[in-house]
């Protein structure tokens, strides 16, 4: 599929839609799947998503007393880990554009005994925080759903303190060709069936598979982060490049 958009349009999976329409359509997807989101993640990745998130948490290196923003944090997996790392003197904020996902995140944090986490409904493209507010910002499996990814990267960079780091955990492009072919078969044949029978929503999981294919590859996203003003950007491929973590710093 071509990654080029008609003027005023953007991708919603493989479909081109008016740029102003994508946000509401993505909201519909995540409102539909919120209650079964974590269960589906376990089924789709065979539990490996937990290892990907653990790697991102370790790479973030959050220390006691630091301030952390988890953008598109959804059900709060990363938030929970960062809250433990930042400790009682630190602050971790869970942010998501989708109210249903935030509600699920609140419920899961309470169930896990995690308190003191503010929840903020916010668009990653225009975060409602002051400049230089956070030591660390993360966005896990959320950037591909953002309409204007460049604006989101600039917004997150703006909110970092000098010396702060941004981590983008996202599906990417397999770097091994046999793996890429098998991954395509799994994504377009198995995932929609899981969506149909487990989440009762085949269309949303077909969109998620398509959105992964339309997301920038590792090198392109690295260039985008540098274009947003982030420096020392490094790329870490996980599971053969099915997922990648990009880490960049605001140095001044």
Does residue 1 lie within any of the structural domains?
Answer: no
How confident is the model over 211-251, as pLDDT tens digits?
888 889 999 999 999 999 999 999 999 999 999 999 999 99
| Total domains in the fold of the chain | 1
pLDDT of residue 2: 47
Check whether 34 has a pLDDT greater than 80. no
Nearest to 191 by CA among 182, 181, 202, 200: 202
In a domain, residue 197? The reply is no
Residue 4: pLDDT band by 50, 70, 90 thresholds?
low
Q: Is residue 181 part of a domain?
A: no
41 is in an annotated binding site: no
Range 140-167 average pLDDT: 96
> For the chain, where are the alpha helices, taking DSSP H only?
19-33, 37-45, 48-60, 77-86, 99-111, 149-159, 177-185, 191-197, 202-214, 218-227
3 in any annotated domain: no
Residue 1 has pLDDT above 60, yes or no: no
Range with lowest mean pLDDT among 74-78, 92-96, 173-177: 173-177
- Quick check: 43 pLDDT over 80? no
Residue 121: enclosing H or E segment and its boundaries? strand 119-121
Q: Are 245 and 238 in contact (CB under 8 A)?
A: yes
Asked if residue 237 belongs to a domain, the reply is: yes
Per-residue pLDDT, 199: 63
148 among annotated binding-site residues: no
pTM of the model: 0.86
Residue 217 lies in a domain: yes
- For residues 213 and 79, the model is more confident at 79
The answer to whether the beta carbons of residues 88 and 117 sit under 8 Å apart is: no
Q: 124 a known binding residue? A: yes
Does the annotation flag 123 for ligand binding?
A: yes
**Of 135, 104, 130, the residue nearest 119 (C-alpha):** 104
In-domain check, residue 14 = yes
Paired tokens of 51: 């290892």
In terms of residue numbers, what domain contains 37? 9-175+206-249
Is 194 inside any structural domain? no
Q: Give, rounded to a whole angstrom, the gap between the first and last alpha carbons of the chain.
A: 38
CATH code assigned at 211: 3.40.50.150
Per-residue pLDDT at 98 exceeds 80: yes
């Amino acid at each position: 599929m071509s990654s080029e958009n008609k003027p005023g349009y953007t991708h919603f999976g493989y479909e081109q839609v008016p740029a102003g329409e994508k946000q509401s359509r993505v909201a519909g997807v995540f409102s539909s799947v919120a209650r079964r989101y974590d269960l589906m993640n376990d089924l789709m990745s065979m539990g490996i998503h937990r290892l990907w998130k653990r790697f991102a948490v370790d790479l973030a290196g959050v220390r006691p007393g630091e301030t952390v923003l988890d953008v598109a944090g959804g059900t709060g997996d990363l938030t929970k880990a960062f809250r433990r790392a930042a400790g009682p003197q630190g602050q971790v904020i869970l942010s998501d554009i989708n109210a249903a996902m935030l509600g699920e995140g609140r419920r899961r944090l309470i169930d896990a005994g995690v308190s003191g986490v503010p929840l903020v409904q916010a668009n990653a493209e225009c975060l409602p925080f002051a400049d230089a507010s956070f030591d660390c910002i993360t966005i896990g499996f959320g950037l591909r759903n953002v309409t204007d990814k460049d604006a989101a990267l600039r917004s997150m960079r703006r909110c970092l303190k000098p010396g702060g780091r941004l981590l983008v955990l996202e599906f990417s492009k397999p770097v091994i060709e046999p793996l890429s072919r098998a991954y395509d078969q799994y994504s377009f044949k198995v995932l929609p069936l899981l969506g149909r029978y487990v989440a009762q929503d085949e269309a949303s999981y077909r969109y998620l598979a398509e959105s992964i294919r339309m997301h920038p590859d590792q090198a392109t996203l690295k260039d985008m982060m540098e274009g947003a003003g982030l420096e020392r950007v490094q790329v870490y491929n996980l599971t053969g490049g099915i997922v990648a973590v990009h880490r960049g710093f605001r140095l001044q």
